[in-house]
Amino acid sequence: MMKITLFFFLISNVLSFQRPPRLQHFHLLSNLQSFNNKKQDLDDALSIPYIPLAYESIEETFSSEESGKGLDIRSTMNVVLPFLFPFFAFETYDEVAALWEFCVELLFTKSWVTVDGGAYQARIIAPAVNGVVVPAMAVLFATLTSTTISSLRDRQHTVHRSINMEAGELRALECVLEEFPTGNLKRSARNYLVQYTSRLISESSPRDSLDHDFTNPRRNMDSELNGLISFLNRHVREQDQKQTTETIPPHILSEVYSSVTKLRDHRHNRITALQSYFPPLHYAVLGVLALSECIAFLMETNQEILVFLNAFQLRILWSMLTSTFVACFALFNDLNSPFSGSYSIATSADQLRTIRITLNASARQEEREAEKNGKEHVTFKTQQTFTRQVKNTTMSGTGTNGSEE
């Protein structure tokens, strides 16, 4: 009992040095009325205006400063446990072996008395264990382990590649939107793009992939891209009916539709990959196979003379066997979450934050130019009015002097 307490005490001390990242929430507005009444903070890159969608939208994201700092508790356990568990297994081998012998005696009633410490029993059962059972379980465990690691790693590669492709298309679409006529049209299209970038950052945040709301089949394909397409279609219809003065050249519209189509394809591939995970039954089968291998080892070593002569070697072998299985399951747990752990691809979202900051900077620059142009226009009108007043006053004074003469 003291050994178990010491083991968990060591783990708690290691985890105490690691602080999990904090979440920063910002709630998006739920309707266009509140969006129009809300004053946007121009100095905060995370204050994103909300463009209403047909369905629900995401409500939280990680801050750009905190999302990349440190590992969470589960990631730390994945790193620490494979190194600490061999010591725990080494110290508790005697208790585990005694527990196994007690269970065997409890479940099986013997009609004889063992005088050789179980050596004869172990020698008789060894051909069955080593010849059929252990090889079959080892081959099956190795096959499932190889399939699991390769599948999870391929999924992570697919997600990483899709994020990079989406970032590239977002950058290209940003350049195309700069050719839109200045005004509400350009501002609204940019807001859709900013909001979609925020969605990508939230979906690429370090959390459990199974807890993501976008993996819900009822809403996983909903995004601001649908709102952007509807907005552009409505504007094109008004443009054809000559109900608006803001016109978009046909080749610019064609590039926008092409970029949005590519973005939707990359998003579908990414979400499909994130939804392709192994069910709990898969890991349960792996756990049963690993436990069976450990039981086979205990059956082979259940001999008093062997324990007496090679106690240290048995402890070493037991530690190696159990720590190997623990390391495998720690690796499964790490790869199962693409955006956290040692194999994390969360850094791929940094380019998305850069794109969002660039979009917000472009919006602020456009607002400053509009304010500057407005002030220059007011100043020019004031100068014209003042010049006209001075001219009228001069002409009025000249007429008065002529009449007096």
**Both structure tokens of 235:** 């504007």
Our measurement of the distance from residue 241's CA atom to the centroid of its chain's CA atoms, rounded to an integer in Å, reads: 44
Other CB atoms within a 10 A radius of the CB of residue 7 amount to: 17
Q: What is the pLDDT of residues 35-74, one digit of tens each?
A: 334 444 433 333 334 444 333 333 333 343 344 444 567 7
Tell me the torsion sign for CA atoms 305, 307, 313, 314: positive
pLDDT value of position 114: 60
Report if residue 257 sits inside a domain. Answer: yes
Give me the sign of the Cα torsion angle 53, 57, 60, 61.
negative
Among residues 138, 133, 137, 145, which one has the least CA distance to residue 282? 145
Q: What tokens appear for 338 in the block?
A: 């693409």
Please check whether residue 174 is in contact with residue 363, taking contact to mean a CB–CB distance below 8 angstroms.
no
The answer as to whether 38 is a domain residue is: no
**Number of domains observed in the structure of the chain:** 1
Q: Is 129 exposed, middle or buried (0-12, 13-18, 19+ CB in 10 A)?
A: middle
What per-residue confidence (pLDDT) applies to 155? 93
Q: Determine, yes or no, domain membership for 22.
A: no
Residue 56 located in a structural domain:
no
Query: What pLDDT is recorded for position 304?
Result: 66
Task: State phi, psi for 61 to the nearest 5 degrees.
Answer: -155, 165
Sequence-ordered list of residues with C-beta below 8 angstroms from that of 111, at least 6 positions apart, any chain: none
Whether 398 is covered by a domain: the verdict is: no
Among 21, 19, 18, 23, smallest CA distance to 202 is for 23
Residue 140 has which token pair?
């099956």
Cβ(49)–Cβ(195) below 8 Å: yes
262: three-class secondary structure by DSSP: helix
Judge if pTM exceeds 0.75: no
Between 311-335 and 73-91, two packed helices, what is the crossing angle to 10 degrees? 170
AA letter at 90: F
Beta bridge partners of 315: none
Rounded distance between C-alpha atoms, residue 350 and residue 178, angstroms = 22
250-262 as b/e: b if 16+ CB within 10 A: eebbebbeebbeb
**DSSP string of 360-401, one letter each residue:** HHHHHHHHHHHHHHHHHHHHHHHHHHHHHHHHHHHHHHHHHH
User: What integer pLDDT is reported at residue 109 of this predicted model?
Assistant: 65
* 8 part of a folded domain: no
Residues of the chain with pLDDT under 50: 1-2, 4-70, 209-212, 377-378, 380, 386, 390, 400-405
Any domain includes 31 = no
Per-residue pLDDT, 390: 47
The pLDDT of residue 50 is: 40
How far apart, in whole angstroms, are the C-alpha atoms of residue 273 and residue 270? Answer: 5
Backbone angles phi, psi at 136, to 5 degrees: -65, -45
Cα separation of 71 and 301, whole Å? 40
Amino acid at 398: T
Q: What is the DSSP letter of 24?
A: B
Report in angstroms the alpha-carbon separations of 71 from 139, 317, 326, 331: 34, 32, 19, 15
Q: Tell me if 186 sits within 8 A of 256, measured CB to CB.
A: no
Domain enclosing residue 228, as ranges: 72-375
Q: What is the pLDDT of residue 153?
A: 94
Bridge partner list, 61: 24
Q: How many angstroms separate the CA atoms of 187 and 371, rounded?
A: 15
Q: Is residue 203 one of the residues assigned to a domain?
A: yes
Q: What pLDDT score does 62 carry? A: 37
